[in-house]
Structure 1
Amino acid sequence: MENQHVGLTIRKVSKRYANGVQALHNVSLDIAPGMFGLLGPNGAGKSTLMRTLATLQEPDEGQLLLGDLDVVNQKEAVRQTLGYLPQEFGVYPKASAEELLDYFAVLKGITNRAVRKETTAALLRQTNLWDKRKQKLGSFSGGMKQRFGVAVALLGNPRLLIVDEPTAGLDPAERVRFLNLLSELGENSVVILSTHIVEDVAELCTNMAIINQGQILLEAQPLEAVASLQGRIWRKLTDKRALPALEQEHRVISAKLLSGRTLVHVYSPDRPGIGFEPAEPNLQDVYFSAMTGCFSPVSPQPKAEGVAL
């Protein structure tokens, strides 16, 4: 199937599990072709939304459309144009990368042997695994397994590629290689990167949403969201013992150790007091501002000037 510039529409999707956990609550998003980051802590509802989009479970209510395909009611058609790299996936350790990718290509419906050989070779080169194609998957590093997972997910030229927590557990060099690979994929397809790592989204995604406790806290373009915090983030180096008092007086969005002291970031439209200096905002400040309620919930496709603070 030729890739079309098709977006993803999510409207008022909710999901409650049998144990009473409300994993998604009234989630609405508009996701255009390109790299989209879904950012949130563990347990925020990211994987539930990814599994729902991947047709592995159904929402209790709401609608999900990939172009004109209904994700809930046209599962088989969606699966034909879907690539999914779950958070954890198994490989056959005694199979080579070349053998297993060929096997998955058959399952994907690529039955012509010559076409299959050409397709698998191209994907192994694209994921920088060509030199390792004869190697057993059981000997692959974490980063190599993730790249093999992308090769499998890319079979059939998908219009929607879902990548769930892909860089967790990768060493810095493998993470960079993996992110470089992902950055090349988002030209025609919708690529959703679900992660709790802010840097992954900052480096890759043109659009993003922040989710927590099953609800979308913010939907924006990362650069616009960062720009909207200009002049509102202040920093102060303090002792850890002073932190509770600062939290009483100010809207502390983050605190981290720096050279044995505590570096505090505070959200405030005006200078919050003595000892504070202006901080150049970044996406981490956007994330913590949203998580602590400094960004109010917004409707889909906000403009930077319309983001409630």
Structure 2
Amino acid sequence: MGLSIRNVSKRYANGVQALHNVSLDIPPGMYGLLGPNGAGKSTLMRTLATLQAPDAGTIHLGDIDVVKQKEAVRQTLGYLPQEFGVYPKARAEDLLDYFAILKGIGNKSERRATVEHLLRQTNLWEVRRQKLGGFSGGMKQRFGVAVALLGQPKLLIVDEPTAGLDPAERVRFLNLLSELGENSVVILSTHIVEDVAELCTNMAIINQGRILLEASPLGAVAALTGRIWRKLTDKQALPALEQEHQIVSAKLLSGRTLVHVYSEEAPGSGFEPAEPDLEDVYFSALKGCFGEVNQQPKTVVAL
């Protein structure tokens, strides 16, 4: 059961055009939606989760019309928003049991088995009797996944799930998500490139409400082979380089500035070829370089 999004647009009452004719084909498995803050990711996620209707376009989850059949979607939907609240004085197993009732699991023994399974799956069984107010950020995120997994959803949406997690919690959380992508459509909305690189077999890059690139991460990286060059320079030289070259990214390295540029050929003295990675793909897409890549016949690769 895949997800088909066609020409979806959304404008808010304040005049902000959050989505512009977004079209995507999302197969089962882990799918990354990558973009900066304010790119339209959360708007698209809320639309897919039936929390708001698009102004135009169609969305289908298999045979289900997401726009017209909201209740049918919600029966098979798991949604972990960017921010969600918990009852801090409630114990984890009690609150999950309560949400299971709301999800329609009325049989007590079935509900007890479901709660235990999900708490074990999210590695929260040993702390099931602790109050949620004492949970770390990562533990709360994993509890949110447990809630989202009630009812064995065919569509699971997680919005910026690793923001604010420490490195250890992030690894545990990503390992959990990777397991979930085996049987469902799992959409990971994030601005963290590493999350998509480590988890997703397919992805899209969105900015200002428009899809800039739809690709497999490996295919997109391969398309940049031979086009990314790097140079270690001083910060004062950066403005001149920006005038001469198409800079993809610039970051500090040992007190100096490491510049990555996009170019079809060696850009000049001091530059050396760089092995591209998904961060280069991300910034190249934001800079519009993939339009140039797509014009080259040799680089038409499952983008």
> Contact 1:163–1:193 (CA<8 Å) still a contact in 2?
yes
CA distance in 1, matches of 2:30, 2:243: 39
Per the alignment, in what secondary structure is the counterpart of residue 188 of structure 2?
A: strand
One-letter identity of the residue aligned with 1:306:
V
Match for 1:104 among 96, 99, 105?
99
How far has the Cα of 1:188 moved from its partner? 1.6
Alignment check: 8 A CA contact 1:8 1:64 kept:
yes
Correspondent of 1:256 among 242, 251, 272: 251
User: What residue number does 1:284 align with?
Assistant: 279
CA distance in 1, matches of 2:19, 2:258: 34
- 1:158-177 matched pairs, under 5 angstroms: 158-177=153-172
* Runs ≥4 residues deviating over 3 A: none
CA contact 1:13–1:62 (8 Å) conserved in 2: yes
- CA–CA separation in structure 2 for the residues paired with 1:296 and 1:180: 34
Superposition RMSD on alpha carbons, in Å?
1.6
Q: Is the 8 A contact 1:216 1:297 kept in 2?
A: no
1:113 aligns to what? 108
Q: CA deviation at 1:298?
A: 10
- Code of the aligned partner of 2:80: L
CA–CA separation in structure 2 for the residues paired with 1:306 and 1:290: 15
| Structure 1 residue identity aligned to 2:249 | S
What aligned pairs does 1:18-29 form with structure 2 within 5 A after superposition? Answer: 18-29=13-24
* Conservation of the 8 A alpha-carbon contact between 2:138 and 2:165: yes
Deviations 1:148-196 (A, max 9, x none): 0000000000000000000000000000000000000011200000000
Determine the structure 2 residue equivalent to 1:46.
41
The residue number in structure 1 matching 2:86 is 91
Supply the distance in 1 between the matched residues of 2:153 and 2:18 (Cα, whole angstroms): 27
Provide Cα deviations, 1:269-304, integer angstroms capped at 9, x if missing partner: 1010000011110000000000001012999xxx99
Kindly indicate whether the alpha-carbon contact (under 8 Å) linking 2:219 and 2:302 is maintained by their aligned counterparts in 1: no
Question: CA separation in 2, counterparts of 1:54 and 1:298?
Answer: 34
Separation in structure 2 between the aligned mates of residue 88 and residue 298 of structure 1, nearest angstrom: 37
Q: Could you say what secondary structure the match of 1:183 adopts?
A: helix
> Of residues 292, 300, 303 in structure 2, which corresponds to 1:306?
300
Amino acid at match of 1:189: S
Query: How much does 1:305 deviate?
Result: 3.3
Equivalent in the alignment of 1:3: none
Structure 1 CA distance for aligned equivalents of residues 279 and 167 of structure 2 = 19
Contact 1:295 1:308 in 2 (8 A): no
State the partner residue of 2:202: 207
Aligned amino acid, residue 207 of structure 1: N
User: Matched residues in 1 for 2:180 and 2:233: separation?
Assistant: 44
SS of corresponding position for 1:296? helix
Q: Is the 8 A contact 1:220 1:304 kept in 2?
A: no
Quote the Cα distance in structure 2 between the aligned partners of 1:160 and 1:168.
21
Kept after mapping to 1: 8 A contact 2:105/2:111: yes
Shift, 1:306, TM fit: 1.8
1:140 & 1:287 partners in 2: Cα distance? 34
* Percentage of identical aligned residues: 82
**Letter paired with 1:12:** N
Once residues 94 and 304 of structure 1 are traced to their aligned partners in structure 2, the CA distance between those partners, rounded to angstroms, is: 59
The partner residue of 1:11 within 1, 6, 18 is 6
Gaps of 5+ in 1: 1-5
Aligned position for 2:77: 82
* Secondary structure in 1 matching 2:276: coil
